[in-house]
Amino acid sequence: MTVTRFAPSPTGYLHIGNLRTALFNFLIARKAGGQFILRLDDTDPERSKPEYAEAIQEDLRWLGLTWDRLERQSSRLDRYEAAADELRAMGRLYECFETPTELELKRKKQLNMGKPPVYDRAALALSEAEKERLRAERGPGHWRFRLDHERIEWEDGILGHLSIDAASVSDPVLIRGDGQFLYTLASVCDDIDYGITDVVRGSDHVTNTATQIQIIRALGGEVPRFAHHSLLTGPQGEALSKRLGTLALRDLRARGIEPMALLSLLARLGSSDPVELRHSVDELAEGFELSHFGSAPTKFDPDDLVPLTARLLQSLPFEAVAEDIRAIGVPDGLARQFWETVRGNIETRADMAGWWKLFSEGAEPLIAEEDREFVEQALALLPPHPYTPETWGEWTAAVKRATGRKGKALFMPLRKAVTGRERGPEMADVMPLLQKPVAA
């Protein structure tokens, strides 16, 4: 069975880059009838916060990306310790004592010599007495996984055949000096234990994947299928910042962006398939093909979500928005008529409240000085309230006969006087919804 996972750290709110990874893994599992696991990587007790863990789940529920299992790394520390002991017994995990300053000096020296800045494995030459002395002076060391210096190869689901020389990569740190297990070891243990078959993540993880493949094999696990999607950039190719408010999912939600507008865009952006508006995640999963995505950085413009949201809303049946319409105070007897009238003139659900306020309370007239006398004359000819679907046609015909105006010069000043807006629904549909007489 296909099993995928999304593994955010609860150290902040989800952003667009997180969502792309979550969506790809979700769609792969959904299309195959498999399992999608939400795993909270919360091994950092200082930065991981319960409120962020809850916010992550809230955002995914809003989007309809439901998970089959919820796992927390903080509950599996014993498992990671056992794996570390296993690697130590194999001679694959060794203790190092260099400070960050010392490591940076080594790095600079190697670069100056024209060599790759790879850890030199000096700690492997330390005697037990030297290690005891360093522990006494500096405290416990950090632990690195000793890579086999060979080529690590795999068929990437997006990037194709990849090959990395392990000798060009530093032995990764798996455990910090304070005992905290880092992502690389914890993730490998989880992927093995949960039977993860497919891992999709950003292309910035390619080197991590190479090292994790060796760790998985050392621990006797089955290597999953890996795929690395391109990274998102801004509309001008600039780097995206996860702290940029307009790209946080909760901020997009507050702006009224519809979940399926967002998912429809991200499920195709960067692929050879056109962006097509879909109304459910099942529809998205049916046409999702990981192999259709490319390696080039993918431009994302949040403004593209506005017209997609408008198109999505305008396509919805009344039943899909009935609760929203009731919530703004539209009487049940007018609710369907209200929706059919305004649906083509809203960008977000919040826009409906503005239209109902106009219909129920009236609008501040928008009258140009040169039209003031004309509007006064026209309002005197307006049929009595309540208005009907025929009111607009009868009124404008009477005004045309009385003033000689026609076309835009006739209709636009009257629209602006009645609605306070230059554009909107057909006035024949607006007039019957006006709950009060238009003030003369």
CATH number for the domain including 381? 1.10.10
pLDDT at residue 439, rounded to an integer: 84
Count structural domains, the chain: 4
pLDDT tens-place string over residues 64-115: 999 999 999 999 999 999 999 999 999 999 999 999 999 999 999 999 999 8
Pair (62, 160) in one structural domain: yes
Q: Which of 201, 232, 263 is the last residue of a domain?
A: 232
Average pLDDT on 331-347 reads 97
Pair (30, 171) in one structural domain: yes
Q: Is the pLDDT of residue 154 over 70?
A: yes
Q: Is the pLDDT of residue 178 over 70?
A: yes
Pair (310, 322) in one structural domain: no
Quick one: DSSP state of residue 232? E
Q: Is the pLDDT of residue 180 over 60?
A: yes
The mean-pLDDT minimum among 90-99, 127-136, 220-229, 291-300 falls in: 291-300
pTM of the entire structure?
0.91
* Pair 5, 70: CB distance under 8 Å: no
Q: Is the pLDDT of residue 237 over 90?
A: no
Distance CA 155, CA 162 (A): 6
* Pair 240, 300: CB distance under 8 Å: yes
Q: Which of 198, 232, 266 is the last residue of a domain?
A: 232
Q: Is the pLDDT of residue 206 over 80?
A: yes
pLDDT at residue 246, rounded to an integer: 53
Q: Nearest CA to 5 among 96, 71, 55?
A: 71
Pair (323, 398) in one structural domain: no
* Pair 353, 428: CB distance under 8 Å: no
Average pLDDT on 161-170 reads 96
Q: Residue 39: beta bridge partners? A: 71
Q: What is the CATH number of the domain that holds 152?
A: 3.40.50.620
pLDDT at residue 240, rounded to an integer: 73
Residue 395: which domain range? 362-440
Q: Nearest CA to 144 among 94, 181, 184?
A: 94
Q: Which of 232, 266, 283 is the last residue of a domain?
A: 232
Is residue 3 within a helix (H) or strand (E), and if so which, with residue range?
A: strand 3-6
**Residue 416 corresponds to which tokens in the numbers above?**
């602006």
pLDDT at residue 235, rounded to an integer: 85
Pair (300, 341) in one structural domain: no
Pair (13, 115) in one structural domain: yes
Average pLDDT on 352-373 reads 96
**Confidence band of 369 (pLDDT split at 50, 70, 90):** very high
Average pLDDT, the chain: 95
Q: What is the CATH number of the domain that holds 289?
A: 1.10.1160.10
Pair (172, 303) in one structural domain: no
Pair (119, 255) in one structural domain: no
pLDDT at residue 242, rounded to an integer: 47
pLDDT tens-place string over residues 238-250: 877 644 545 789 9
Pair (307, 399) in one structural domain: no
pLDDT at residue 264, rounded to an integer: 97
Distance CA 31, CA 218 (A): 32
Pair (277, 295) in one structural domain: yes
Q: Is the pLDDT of residue 236 over 90?
A: no
Pair (100, 38) in one structural domain: yes
Pair (266, 374) in one structural domain: no
